[in-house]
Amino acid sequence: MNEIQSPAGEMAGAASHTAFPWPPPPDRPLLDALAETWRASLFEPRDFFARMPVRGPLGAALLYFLVVGVAAQGVRLFWSIIRDVLLAGTAAGPGVIAGKGADPAELLLGFLLSPLTLLALLLTATVVVHATLLVLGAASASIGATLRVLAYTHGAALFEAVPLAGSILAFAWMIVAAARGLATVHATGTARAVLALLLPLAGAAALYLISMMVTLLESIPGG
C-alpha cells in the first residue's frame, strides 16, 4: 500500500530544499552545506540571493568568505610555486627566477596573513560598491546585504584552480554572479548592478595608469 504524505509533510520537505544552506542546520553535514552554498551562489545566484537573509549578524557570511578566500589563496600559492619551478628549473627551487623571484618565506607569510588581507579587501569593496549603488539610485537594501553578496560570490575565486585561464574565468564569473545577487537583494536592474561593480574597477585602473604615466614622465631627463 502506497504511503500518502500529508500537506504538512510536503511543505516540510519543500522547505528543506529551499532553506538557505548557510550556516548549516544541526542535522546537515558542514561540508555538504559548504558545497551547496558554493554551488547555489555561483550557478543559481538569483534563487540563492532571493532566499538569503539580508538582516541579522554577518558572521556566517564572513566565515564562508574566509573559508573560500583562504582556499583560493592556497590555490594561488600552489600555482605561483609551480610557475617558478617550471621557469627556473626544479634544481633552482620554487620562488627563484634568475635570482629575482619571490622568496618562499614571503609567499608563506602572505598566505598566513591572507585572512586579514581578505577581510580588508571585502570591507573596502563593500563600501565602494554600495556607495556606487547609492549614486546610481539602486541601493534599496542595507550595506550589510551588499557585503553578503560580495562575500558569497567570492567563491568564484576557486576557479583559479583551472590552469591558464583560471584567473579570467574567476573574475568573469564573480562579476556575473555578484551582479545578479546585487540586482536581486536591491531590487534593481542588472545593468545598474554591473555598473556598480565595474565603475570602481575602471576608476582604479584609470588612477593606476595616470600614476604610471606621471612616474614615467618624471623619469625622463629634463621632464
Helix (H) / strand (E) containing 82: helix 59-88
CB 84 within 8 A of CB 95: yes
- Inside any domain, residue 160: yes
- Inside any domain, residue 117: yes
Across the range 211-223, mean pLDDT stands at: 80
Q: How far is C-alpha 207 from the geometric centre of its chain's CA atoms?
A: 23
Higher pLDDT, 5 or 222: 222
In the predicted model, is pLDDT for residue 99 greater than 50? Answer: no
Instruction: Name, in order, each residue with C-beta under 8 angstroms of 175's C-beta and a sequence gap of 6 or more.
Output: 194, 197, 198
Q: How far is C-alpha 86 from the geometric centre of its chain's CA atoms?
A: 29
- Inside any domain, residue 55: yes
Distances in whole angstroms, Cα of residue 68 to Cα of each of 29, 60, 222 = 17, 13, 50
Q: What's the pLDDT tens digit per position in 47-93?
A: 999 999 998 899 999 999 999 999 999 998 888 888 877 776 544 44
- Inside any domain, residue 18: no
- Inside any domain, residue 165: yes
- Inside any domain, residue 15: no
Total count of domains within the chain: 1
Q: What's the pLDDT tens digit per position in 146-184?
A: 999 999 999 999 999 998 899 999 999 999 999 999 999
Residue 79 identity: W
* Total-model pTM: 0.82
- Inside any domain, residue 125: yes
- Inside any domain, residue 58: yes
Q: Which domain covers residue 108, as residue numbers? A: 27-219
Q: What are all long-range contacts of 93-97, with beta carbons under 8 Å and residues at least 24 apart?
A: none
Secondary-structure percent of the chain, ordered helix, strand, coil, rounded to 5: 75, 0, 25
Residue 179 identity: A
